[in-house]
Amino acid sequence: MQPLLAKEADSTDLKDLGKATLHIVHDLKNQLNGLKLYATFLRKRMERDERPQDERETVAKLIAGLDRAARDLTALVRYADPPELRRWPDVDLLQIVSRAIDESWAGASPPQCPRPAIDGIQAGGLLGEFDSVALIGAIKAVIEQAAVERSQANPPPAISVRRDDEQSPGALLEWRNRESVPKGDPFRALDSIASVRLALAAKIIEAHGGRIEHDRNALRIWLPITK
Q: Which pLDDT tens digit goes with each residue over 14-51?
A: 666 667 777 777 788 888 888 888 888 888 888 888 88
pLDDT for 110 equals 47
| Angstrom distance (rounded) from CA 149 to CA 169 | 33
Which tens digits make up the pLDDT trace of 72-87?
A: 787 777 777 778 899 9
CB 174 within 8 A of CB 160: yes
| Angstrom distance (rounded) from CA 182 to CA 156 | 12
pLDDT for 223 equals 93
Residue 187 DSSP class: T
pLDDT for 152 equals 42
In the chain, the N- to C-terminal Cα span, in Å, equals 71
| For residue 183, pLDDT beyond 60 | no
| Angstrom distance (rounded) from CA 34 to CA 15 | 29
